[in-house]
Structure 1
Amino acid sequence: MAFEEKPLDSSINLDAVLENRVTMIVGKGQMVYWQGSNVTVYEIDDEGREQARKLVGMPNGQGLAPEGVKLYITKGKVTEQS
């Protein structure tokens, strides 16, 4: 299952979340929310190779992180919910 990023829901408030420097999130079916961040998604392609893609133009977003996906997030704020 691929990671599908979406714009950050306006009802999500990350004001209480500490500033992020670097975070690596390993997908286990949790929701991930970020604000003011640089995000790189690592996914396994159909041939079993890891592919990386940067979410250019999406400093604020959210998505469900399935198993097999890793998110490398720098700066801004980030939080997870099971």
Structure 2
Amino acid sequence: PSSQDHALPLMERYVDYCDSGTVRRTVRSSQNVAMVFFRVHTVGSSFTLTVRKPINPFPCNIISQTPEGSFTMVIP
């Protein structure tokens, strides 16, 4: 969200994991949406992202800035 829509400044809402090796860290979104930007530098490399969310009987639509790519939303 823009600075008008969020109480915290952008730099306090941004987490960068570049070149940090194997990281197991929890990050909590303070609003109802979170965005992940990624780049895989080496063919065959990968990463895992786990998302946990509270049960919501009236979920909103999925938000994506691009129509390209493969996205799977798994709801346990």
TM-score (norm 2): 0.27
Q: Decide which structure has the larger Cα Rg and report it.
A: 2
TM-score (norm 1): 0.26
